[in-house]
């Protein structure tokens, strides 16, 4: 599950440049029985299998360093977001523990520094959430992206969603690229992009604006956006 994504695109190049080292460990390496069993039936009776505590405890014991932070991927954890990604990207050594089957023996929580969830849904295991976390963190490492400004323009940076993006051709199936982007006027383009980023955030994720660091220009742009939408609603009301 890890071999494909970890050897493609940005993750592959970041490792080749020596910007990050990513290792995948098999929990079976920390078993002590002939069949290398990592799971067992749950006490009390229930469906499914549960990961045993011994392999997870011993894996963390073997891999942990003084500067390590251990993350347990679980739907019961703290919601992973951009702010958490920025903080974790500054950590020099992370250990990501991936659950499987019906989960893991609850005693495993005691070896984790933080429990992390990528959303309110259940997956077959923690491998995909781990890959999501890894990809989000590597993008933030200086030198990982071809254009350093790309990460600074992504959604959630500065507390707002990203502005719309367009490329050639200028007209496709009657859909046109906004004229301002073809104008060559860099100040107009900058202002348009910021305004559209704020518009998208206001319409789609207004909760983000409560925590966003907005300056005087942002406040002015939001006022313009709200006035425009109020005007549109008035026009719709007046139509027969």
Q: How many helices (H) and strands (E) does the chain have?
A: 9, 7
CA 205 to chain centroid, in Å, comes to 16
pLDDT digits (tens, 9 = 90+) for 115-127: 999 999 989 999 9
What's the confidence (pLDDT) of residue 28?
Answer: 97
Question: Catalytic positions, please?
Answer: 75, 102, 139, 154
Residues of the chain with CATH 1.10.1270.20: 159-238
Q: How far apart are CA 19 and CA 152, in angstroms?
A: 18
Dihedral angle computed from the Cα positions of residues 65, 69, 75 and 80, in that order, rounded to the nearest 10 degrees: -150
The model's pTM is 0.87
CATH topology of domain 159-238: 1.10.1270
Q: How far apart are CA 71 and CA 112, in angstroms?
A: 6
Q: How far apart are CA 240 and CA 237, in angstroms?
A: 8
pLDDT at 31 over 80: yes
pLDDT digits (tens, 9 = 90+) for 72-112: 999 999 999 999 999 999 999 999 999 887 789 999 999 99
Residues of the chain with CATH 3.40.1280.10: 3-138
pLDDT digits (tens, 9 = 90+) for 149-190: 666 656 777 889 999 999 999 999 999 999 999 999 999 999
Looking at domain 3-138, its CATH class is: alpha beta
């Amino acid at each position: 599950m890890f071999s494909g994504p970890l050897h493609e695109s940005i993750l592959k190049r970041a490792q080749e440049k020596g910007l990050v080292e990513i290792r995948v460990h098999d929990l079976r390496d920390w078993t002590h029985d002939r069949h290398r069993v990592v799971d067992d039936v749950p006490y009390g009776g229930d469906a499914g299998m549960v990961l045993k505590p011994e392999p997870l405890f011993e894996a963390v014991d073997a891999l942990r360093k003084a500067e390590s932070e251990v993350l347990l991927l679980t739907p019961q954890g703290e919601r992973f977001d951009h702010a958490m990604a920025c903080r974790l990207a500054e950590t020099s050594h992370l250990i990501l523990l991936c659950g499987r089957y019906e989960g893991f023996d609850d005693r495993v929580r005691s070896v984790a520094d933080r429990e992390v969830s990528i959303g309110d849904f259940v997956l077959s295991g923690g491998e995909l959430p781990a890959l999501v976390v890894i990809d989000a963190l590597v993008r933030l490492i200086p030198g990982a992206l071809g254009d350093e400004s790309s990460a600074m323009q992504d959604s959630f940076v500065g507390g707002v969603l990203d502005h719309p993006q367009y490329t050639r051709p200028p007209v496709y199936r009657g859909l046109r690229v906004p004229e301002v982007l073809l104008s060559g006027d860099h100040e107009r383009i900058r202002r348009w992009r910021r305004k559209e980023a704020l518009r998208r955030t206001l319409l789609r994720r207004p909760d983000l604006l409560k925590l966003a660091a907005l300056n005087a220009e942002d406040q002015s742009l939001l006022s313009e956006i709200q006035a425009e939408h109020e005007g549109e609603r008035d026009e719709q009301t007046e139509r027969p």
